[in-house]
Chain A
Amino acid sequence: MDTISSEKLGIIDLHPDVFGTPPRMDILHENVVWQHKYRYINYEKELSKGDLDKRRRKPFPQKGMGKKRAGSTKACNWKYGGSAHGPRGPYSTYYMLSKEKRELGLRIALSVKYAQDDLHIVDSLEIPSEDPEYLQELIDTRYWGFSVLFVDDTDIMPVNMSLAASEFGQYNLLPVYGLNVYSILKHQTLVMTLAAVEKLEQKLLEQMHKADVRK
């Protein structure tokens, strides 16, 4: 990242279990839906009979008026009455996807990015200047597309990089522990540091070969 145009620094081995998994759209979709739902709260609400601010007396006597028998004006068959089976209050749609599926989704997203040639590995995220135009020029010359996700192994990012990227909404920084399927799919390219790749590979392989798994 020191120069605007890319330089080849070396060749690394990517583990085939992490970066070569067969793609499955259903797993990706499940992950994306889960990521939306587990933080979504439904605020739909309708007023029921008890919520109405109305008198609760009998509107008119039972007999002698030539009218229907009525107990209250709040019933659902009355005009300006409450709703019978409306949505009740804010409720959360939170649920947890299984660990295997989350991990598999991450592996699939990574291998899909890699297969589409949208995964780039750099030595570090440090750039010489904090000028946002420098970052823009760098991304344009390397054909990294309109949106880029930079991933590092720590959450303390380089100063120049964070200052430059803060000017744009489409260039984002993430630590390895925050990496997720939705962000990977939303950004056009994924740029990872070497340390981040090693850490991620180690974590995913550890999860794949875990001893105390129960099915």
Chain B
Amino acid sequence: MAAPLVRNIRAFGIFGNKIAQIRQQKLLFLASRAASGSKWKGTEVDQDPFHYHDNTVPYFPEESAKKSLEAEYPDVEISTEDWHYVERVLPPKTVPEPPQHESYPTASGWLPPNTSLQPKEYGIVRTRNHMLPLYYRKHFHGKETTRILHIVGDIWKFKKDVHDYLTKEKGVRSVDIQVHEVGRFLRFRGNHLENVAEFLLQKGF
């Protein structure tokens, strides 16, 4: 046998028009009090106790402006002349396409992907900011990892090519590479950021 969870009947809430009744009684009470001026001085109730504001009716300022425009003497004018100044300030929703430069690489060292150099077996999707999906991380205990994300196609061939490039051409003694086939990424032990970036640009990604 449990005790009633809600002991106060008021906690259930008051339904229907009882709210309006109570509000009216309260306002009348306050008004009578203010008129007598016994306890609360300076509290004068100017509100109509029978005033009822319908909150369910929506308020559209644009509609009312249109109505006034149709009137004989309109008090509002709608103009979109200066809107392009506002649009210029607003941030773009999506990242725009990169502009055409005169020469590559640009002053910041950015290169566009070159489709003619790309191999057919595998590929890499650039990030939304048109950069290589290369990430270097230094962990808390000093461990360093490098990752290549968004790999499409034959990931094992890609791993073999990167491994060969690092060991044979760059003279790195040994590289540990994890191949995540489901997550579509490679993870290197150590900091190979610059070498891997060179390899990717050489392949045209």
Which residues of A pack against B, CB within 8 Å? Answer: 17, 22, 24, 47, 51-53, 206, 208-213
Contacts and interface: CB of A to CB of B under 8 A. Distances in A.
A17 B125 CA distance: 10
B1 A53 contact: yes
Contacts of A51: 2-3
Given A47-B2, A51-B2, A24 B93 contact: no
Contacts of B92: 211
A211 B93 CA distance: 6
Interface size class of B (residues with CB under 8 A): 10 to 19
Among B94, B125, B152, B182, the most chain A Cβ lie within 10 Å of the Cβ of B94
B150 to A, nearest CB: 10
Contact of B128 (A22, A24, A52, A210): A210
Interface string B112-134: 00000000000001001000000
B95 interface: yes
Contacts of B105: none
A213 B92 CA distance: 12
Given A22-B182, A24-B182, A206-B94, A213 B3 contact: no
Interface of B: 1-3, 91-95, 125, 128, 152, 182-184
A24 B185 CA distance: 13
A213 B94 contact: no
A53 B2 contact: yes
B94 A24 contact: no
The 3 closest A-B pairs by CB, nearest first: A53-B1, A209-B94, A209-B128
